[in-house]
Chain A
């Protein structure tokens, strides 16, 4: 009896702390994604996986459900401030859509580890250029 009670309290506390982690992850993700116009997905995946204990595949899938409405709302606000033009928007969106499918198909065939390393190096170089020059 005492044991069940203790266990149920522990379970409730665990659920509450998990919800706090999820809310904090949302605050960080939303703020960064709105301020930088992206990158929220790269932040929320590790937070879902390592802080909220979600399997990595589920974290990737769930991150899209989170980022989709957040980016849609942010995109509307950016556009309302006059930062969006269709003449650039149409080709970029078409390129993303066409090659996004390609990327998903290539995922099974390419050495993902080395592409990730190259991608990380490219981000570091681009970040350095944007920060200092």
Chain B
């Protein structure tokens, strides 16, 4: 039964992610609020669960010539270095504190999302 709930949470995140809306930002709270998954575990699940879908999406976008990889290199290298820092910072933070900081991050992102939604035709 638990297997099914996890699959449903992934499905909800997947639909939104497939629509290009950042499905991970809804998968983590779904796992935490409804399935009582600890914050660090929910974040790990999100990081890994979207990888296969991202590979498929990336292949399609590459074929359509939409990927500007020369510019991306300048973003990827510092992003990788600072991601390591972010991961260690998360590990050093307690579960409850991390959940609250994540909640604040989500509120900030929702403002971004409202603005981009209003700009959508």
As a 0/1 sequence over residues 17 to 32 of chain B, the CB contacts with chain A under 8 angstroms (1 = contact) are 1111111111111011
Partner of A103, one of B17, B80, B82, B120: B17
Please tell me if the beta carbons of A39 and B21 are within 8 angstroms of each other in the complex.
Answer: no
A74 to chain B, nearest CB (A): 5
Taking residues whose C-beta sits less than 8 angstroms from the other chain, chain A's interface range is 35 or more
Given A93-B48, A123-B113, A38 contacting B80 (CB threshold 8 A) = no
Contacts of B106 in A (CB 8 A): 39, 123-124, 126-127, 130-131
Contacts of B90 in A (CB 8 A): 34-37, 78
B14 to chain A, nearest CB (A): 3
Q: What are 16 A-B residue pairs whose CB atoms fall within 8 Å in the complex?
A: A26-B77, A39-B105, A41-B24, A62-B66, A71-B48, A71-B51, A77-B88, A78-B48, A78-B91, A89-B48, A92-B9, A92-B31, A96-B17, A97-B52, A113-B118, A116-B120
